[in-house]
Chains A and B, each alone.
Chain A
Amino acid sequence: MAFLVRLALLGGRSSLGRPLGIVLGVALGMALFLLMLGAVIALDSRDDRTAWLNATTESSAIPADRAAPRGAILAARDETSAAGEVIARLIVAAPAETALPIPGIPSAPPAGSYYASPALQALVARLPPDRLGNRFGSFAGTIGDAALSSPDTLVAIVGAAPDAVRALPGAVYLTSFAASPTDLGAAYQIVILIGAIGLFFPVGLLIMIVTKLGAVSRIERFATLRLIGASPRQIAFVVALESFLTATVGAALGVVLAAVLRPLAAIIPLNGGSFFPQDLAVPASWSLLAVGAMVVAATLASAIGIRRAGISPLGATRAIRERTPRPWRILPLLVGAGLIGYTAMNAGDIDGTVMTFGIVGGFAIVAAGIVVIGPWLTYQLSGLVSRRAGSAAALIAGSRIRMTPVATFRSVSGLVIAVFMVTVFATAAGGVMQSLRVDGVDGTLPADALLADLPAGADADAVIAATLAVPGVNAVIVGRAVDPIATEVHPGSVAWAAEDFPALGFAAVPDAPFATFDRTSYLASQQEGRLEVVAVRGAAVGVAGAIVVRTDGTAEAIDRARTAIEVGAGPAAAPITRVEAVQLGIQRILHELAVVAYLGAFVSIAIAGCSLAIATAAAVIDRRRVLGLLRLMGMPASQLHRMVGFEAAVPLVGVLGLSVAAGYLVADVIVENLAGGIDVGWPEPMYFVALALGLILALGAVAATVGTIRRNTAVSATRFE
C-alpha cells in the first residue's frame, strides 16, 4: 500500500504540480471564505461598539424638560457634515459630580471643547478651521477604538453649557449609555447575504476546478495501477488520501493566508466604514470547523468521484464522454425564479425572516440554477457550432465541448455567476441611484444652497451678517416666522418674500407679498407635480425664522457657511443641503451597499478569471497529445489559440445572456418590492465597466495560456509513433 501511495502521489514530475495547484487553490479559497465569514460576523458585532450613540433615543433617556436625575448627563445627538462626509455628533453637558463615564473618553469634555474619533480628527486637521474645526471648539482628545465601529467612523463628543444643550431638539438626560445598535434591517441583511453567496460561488468553483487539475493524466496512471493489480478500493483510498493531505495543507495555509490578508481586506469599507483588522478575525473554533468541513468534503468528494469515473485497467471508460445533459437542468432556475417572484409578490403579507429566506434562498437557487443549466445550454450550442463550423478550430472545439459540456462549462461558470451578480447589483444600484439623483427641479432647494433654522434666541442679524461674509456665499435669503393664529398654515411654517422666490429655486413668483411651502417637499429629490405655494398675509409675518444660503456650490463654501451658521446660531440651526436631506435614510444605505457589492463582484470576477485561466491551461496540458498532433498536421499556432478561445467562448456566449437577463429580472423584483416602488432602470456605467472587465479577464485568461499551448504542443513535445 505504501508503494501504491508513493506511486500515485509522487509518480513523475507533472504530478507534483497537481498537489501544489490544489493546495494553493484550496488555500486561496479558504482564505477568502474566512475573510468573508469574518466580515459577516464583524458587521453584526462591531455596531455594538457604537451603540452608545443611540442612547439618546433609548426609553431610559429622560426628556430634558423634566427634572434632572442626580449625576445624569445632559445630551443631544445630531449630525453635521463636512467635505461631503456625515459626522455623528453627541453634544453633552456633564455635571461635575457625575459618575457616568462616556464611552471611549476619559472624562466629559468641558463646554467649548470636544473629543473626536481619529478619522474625524484627521478630517479636522486636513480642513481649514472655518470649514469644520470651529464648529466643535478646542480639541480635548481622541475617542478610543473600543467605542468606534470602524477606523473610518466620524464621531464627535462636544461639550456645551447645559442651557445650550437643553435648547437642542431631542435633548435628554442620560443615566446610562447602554443602548441597542442601529438595526440593519431586513433589506440590508438580504443584500449582505446575497453578496456573500455571490462571493462564495466563485470560490467554490475555483476549488472545484483546482481539484480537477491534471485529472486526465492521473486517471491514466490509476488505470496502470489497476492493470498491475490494485483494487478499486485501494485506488479510492489513495485518492482520498491525496485529497485529505492536499486539503488539510491547503486549508491550514488558507487560515494563515487569511490572517496575512486581514489588514488588506480590512480596508474595504462595508456598511459605512472599513474594519479594524482584528474585527475580521474568525474565532479559532470556527476556523477549525471550516478547515475540518473542507477536508471532509474534499476527501469524500474525491473518493466518490474516482469511483464514479469508473477507472478500469484499460483507462477511464466513462470519463471520456460525459453523460449528455438533459432538459431537467432547466428546473432549478425556474424554481429559484418562482421562489423570488412569489416572495416579492407577497412581500406585504409575510414575515421578515420568511421574506429574507425567500429572497436569499431564491437568489441562491437562481445562481445554482444558472450553473446547472449551463452545461445543457453549452451542449445545445456546441451541437450547432460543430454542425455549422467552417473552420477546423471551430469544428474541433465544438465537438470537444459536445463530449464534455459539464467540464467545459465549469471553467467559465465562475465568470458567468460573477456576471449574474454584477447585473443584479448594478441594476439594483442603478434604480436606487436614480431615486437619489438631485436634479435642479422647480420648487426645490437649489443644489448649492443650505437651508437652516434660526432658533429662538439666536441673534439673526449677526448670523446673517457672518454668513454673508463667508467667501463663496452669494446670498442669504431670510424666511420669516408666521403667526399661526393669523394664518391657516402649519405651525412653524416660514414665509418667504415673493421677490425671493426665484432665488429659492422657484420658476414662478407668487402673487402675494409672502408665501410659504412644505419644507419636506422642498428638500425632496424630485418634485412630483408642482409644490403648492400658500400665500401669507403680510400682517402675519414676524421675525426671521430660517435662512436659505446660496453659495457658489463648492464644498468649501458650503462647509464654511455651515460653520458660520452653527457657530452663530448653535447646532439647533441644523443647516442642511438637499443632497444631504435626500441621502439620509434607507436609500443611502442601499446605495452604499451597491457600491460594496461592486467590490464583491470585482473580487468574484477576478477569481473567476483565475479559474478560467487555470482550467484552460489544465485542459491544454491534458490534451497536449491531440494539440501536438494538430500542430504536426500543420495546424498553425494561431488556429490552435483560436480553438482554445472557442472552447471558452461557446459556453460564455451561451450562458452570459441568460445570466444578464436573470440578473436584471431578479434585481427588478427585489428592488421593486424591497425598496418600495423604485423602478430599475438602465444599469450604472460601472456595470459596463465591470462587464468589460469580466470579458477582458476572460480574454486575458485564455491569452495567458498561449505560453502553455506553445510549450505543450511544440511538435517536439510529444512523440508520435
Chain B
Amino acid sequence: MTAVLEARGLKKSFGRNEALRGIDVSIRRGEIVAIMGPSGSGKSTLLHCLAGVTVPDAGIVRFNGTAISTLDETARGRLRLGDFGFVFQFGQLLPELTAIDNVAVPLLLAGERRAAASARAAEWLVRLGLDGKAQRRPQELSGGEAQRVAIARALVTKPAVLFADEPTGSLDSLAAEGVMKLMIELVRESGTTVVVVTHDSRTAAYADRDIIVRDGRVSVALGEAA
C-alpha cells in the first residue's frame, strides 16, 4: 500500500526549544493512526507539520508524493481546504455562525453554491445525529455536540486526511466515545486517512496503530515497525 503522508527527518525548534528532533513517519491510505506521548513531547507540532500548518525547519513532508513542506502559504492553504480536514479540542467553530453554516463554510470556500452547500451541511448534521440543532450557535451546543459539528465540518469536503488534535480532550468518557465512534464509522465508510493526537488510550484504541512521540522523537521500541 502507498503512503498518503510521509515525513522524513522532521525538525522544528521554537527558539532554543527543539520541539521535533528528527521524525520519520509514514501513513498509509485509509489508515487511522494515533499519535501519543507525554505532554510537551511535540505531538501537536508534528501534526501541524504533517498538515502543512507549520513549516518544519528541516526534513520533508510528502502528501501523495508531493513535497508540501516547500509550498508557499497560498498553496498550502489550498491543500488544507481541498484535501485536509481538522478537528481540535474545542473553540474551533465560528461563534457567529449557526451549526449548519459552520459546516457549510468549507464548501463555500471551495466555491460551492449556497443552496447546495447548505443542503449538504444539513445532510452531514443528520449523519452526526444533530438534526434539530442546525440553527444553534456554538455557545448553545454542548461540548460533545460542538465536536460533532466540528467533525461534520471537517469531513464535509471529503478530505483525504483528517487531522484531529485531542478531539475528545474536553469531553467525558461517554461523549468521547460517541464522538469517536461516529468519526471512525464515517471515515471507514469513506476511506479517509486519520491522524489523531491524543493522550487518551481509549481514544487511541480506535486507531489501527499508534505512534509514540517522546522528546521530539518517535519512540524507538516499536516505532514504525508496528
Chain A complexes with chain B? yes
Q: Which of A402-432 contact B (CB under 8 A)?
A: 402-403
User: Which of B63-71, B75-83, B185-193, B216-224 lies at the interface?
Assistant: B75-83
User: Which of B86-94, B122-130, B174-182, B204-212 lies at the interface?
Assistant: B86-94
A57 touches B (CB below 8 Å): no
A391 touches B (CB below 8 Å): yes
B101 touches A395 (CB 8 A): yes
Docked CA distance A636–B81 (Å):
9
Q: With a CB–CB cut-off of 8 A, which chain A residues contact B101?
A: 386, 395, 399
Chain A facing B: main interface SS: helix
B31 touches A (CB below 8 Å): no
B165 touches A633 (CB 8 A): no
Q: Given A395-B97, A721-B88, does the pair A716, B54 have CB atoms closer than 8 Å?
A: yes
Q: With a CB–CB cut-off of 8 A, which chain A residues contact B53?
A: 632, 715-716, 720
B109 touches A634 (CB 8 A): yes
Q: With a CB–CB cut-off of 8 A, which chain B residues contact A626?
A: 94-96
A641 touches B (CB below 8 Å): no
Docked CA distance A402–B137 (Å):
12
Residue of B nearest to A317 (CB): B139
A631 touches B (CB below 8 Å): yes
Q: Given A399-B97, A626-B95, A721-B89, does the pair A633, B105 have CB atoms closer than 8 Å?
A: yes
Bin chain A's interface residue count. Answer: 20 to 34
Residue of B nearest to A390 (CB): B114
Q: With a CB–CB cut-off of 8 A, which chain B residues contact A389?
A: 108, 114
Say which residue of A388, A630, A634, A720 sits within 8 Å of B165 (CB atoms): A720
A703 touches B (CB below 8 Å): no
B95 touches A635 (CB 8 A): no
Q: With a CB–CB cut-off of 8 A, which chain B residues contact A391?
A: 108
A392 touches B105 (CB 8 A): yes
| 0/1 interface trace, chain A 621-659, chain B, CB 8 Å (1 if under) | 000011001111111110100000000000000000000
Docked CA distance A390–B169 (Å):
34
Docked CA distance A4–B88 (Å):
33
A635 touches B96 (CB 8 A): no
Docked CA distance A388–B113 (Å):
11
A678 touches B (CB below 8 Å): no
Say which residue of A395, A632, A720 sits within 8 Å of B104 (CB atoms): A395
B106 touches A (CB below 8 Å): yes
Q: Given A632-B53, A632-B80, A633-B105, does the pair A396, B165 have CB atoms closer than 8 Å?
A: no
Q: Given A626-B95, A631-B77, does the pair A395, B165 have CB atoms closer than 8 Å?
A: no
A634 touches B77 (CB 8 A): yes
Residue of B nearest to A635 (CB): B109
Docked CA distance A676–B96 (Å):
53
B96 touches A399 (CB 8 A): yes
B203 touches A (CB below 8 Å): no
Q: Given A391-B108, A395-B105, A625-B91, does the pair A633, B80 have CB atoms closer than 8 Å?
A: yes
A400 touches B (CB below 8 Å): yes
A634 touches B97 (CB 8 A): no
Among B74, B105, B109, B139, residue most surrounded by chain A Cβ atoms (within 10 Å): B109
A320 touches B (CB below 8 Å): yes
Residue of A nearest to B92 (CB): A629
Say which residue of B77, B91, B113 sits within 8 Å of A636 (CB atoms): B77
Among A320, A388, A400, A626, residue most surrounded by chain B Cβ atoms (within 10 Å): A626
A636 touches B74 (CB 8 A): yes
Q: With a CB–CB cut-off of 8 A, which chain A residues contact B92?
A: 629, 720
Q: With a CB–CB cut-off of 8 A, which chain B residues contact A637?
A: 74
B154 to chain A, nearest CB (A): 9
B44 touches A (CB below 8 Å): yes
B166 touches A (CB below 8 Å): yes
Say which residue of A388, A392, A403, A716 sits within 8 Å of B109 (CB atoms): A392
In the A-B complex, the 5 residue pairs with the closest CB atoms:
A634-B81, A392-B108, A634-B80, A400-B96, A399-B96
Q: With A390-B114, A399-B101 given, can you name 19 additional A-B contacts, CB distance below 8 Å?
A: A390-B113, A392-B109, A395-B101, A395-B105, A395-B108, A396-B96, A626-B94, A626-B95, A626-B96, A630-B94, A632-B80, A633-B109, A635-B109, A636-B77, A639-B109, A714-B73, A715-B73, A716-B54, A720-B86
Interface residues, chain B, with chain A CB atoms under 8 Å away: 44, 53-54, 73-74, 77-82, 84, 86, 88-89, 91-92, 94-98, 101, 104-106, 108-109, 113-114, 139, 165-166, 169
Interface residues, chain A, with chain B CB atoms under 8 Å away: 320-321, 386, 388-392, 395-396, 399-400, 402-403, 625-626, 629-637, 639, 714-716, 719-721
